[in-house]
Amino acid sequence: DTIVDMIECIVVENAIILNADCMDINDDLITQWEPKIQKMVSTSYIAGLDKEDIAQELRISLVKAAKAFNPDKGAIFHTYLHTSLVNTIRTLINKAQSQLNSRSIDMTDIYETTPAEIIRALTDPNHYQEEVDISLWVDSQNLANKEKLFLQLKLEGLTMEEITEDLGESAYKVRQGLRDKLQQESDTDEDA
């Protein structure tokens, strides 16, 4: 090693190595940044994940950030890592939200469930106790194929953008059409 190479690999505050070529991705790196990970975990709550799952995802993100870090782009590693960890938490939150938004409807309630109750079951986040097999209800309704496919894809947890790609038309329009149709049926049931 030349003196220049040695200078490029100087450790700053016994912490991060300046040159990405010299950065050791090992247990020491994880140990060094563990306090930051634990601080982020302690201030995060993600439904469906315990603290250790979140910490493990952040450790994986740390290793990926260390591999991808390029000091020539003008950022310091701490800033790059922080952005990566925050993005990881956002991704975990989005995944958890899409899972919470997926609902099913219990088969025992299928024949006595009104459209208004189904709307409540699909939209109320506190309405977990009643699960219905939506496919039986969907088949018994007078729905267009795109509306049936929309419901199936939404229950699988796909995003509206992914559903739009699969349908070939705006998922938002199909959803609104379904809401209108269910609302009309609900109004008709209440009048009867």
Contact 132, 107 (CB under 8 A): yes
Residue 133, pLDDT score: 56
| pLDDT tens, per residue, the chain with 192 residues | 444 444 444 433 334 444 444 455 677 888 889 999 999 998 888 878 889 999 999 999 999 998 888 888 888 888 899 999 999 999 988 888 776 655 554 444 445 556 666 666 666 655 544 445 566 666 667 778 888 888 878 877 888 898 888 888 898 998 888 888 878 877 776 666
CA 41 vs CA 66, 79, 144: distances in Å: 19, 18, 45
Give me the torsion for CA of 123, 129, 132, 134, rounded to 10°: 30
CA-angle at 159, arms to 54 and 111, nearest 5°:
105
Contact 104, 138 (CB under 8 A): no
Residue 60, pLDDT score: 92
CB-facing half-sphere around the CA of 9: CA atoms within 13 A:
10
Which tokens in the block code for residue 33?
């940044």
Handedness of CA 86, 90, 95, 100 (dihedral sign): positive
Which tokens in the block code for residue 42?
């302690």
Strand, helix or coil for residue 70: coil
CB-facing half-sphere around the CA of 155: CA atoms within 13 A:
17
The full set of domain ranges for the chain reads 3-100, 103-191
Q: State the pTM of this model.
A: 0.43
Strand partners of residue 11:
17
Q: How many CB atoms lie within 10 A of CB 103?
A: 19
Contact 127, 109 (CB under 8 A): no
The CATH-assigned architecture of domain 3-100 is Orthogonal Bundle (1.10)
Residue 23, pLDDT score: 53
Q: What is the rounded CA–CA span in Å between residue 84 and residue 80?
A: 6
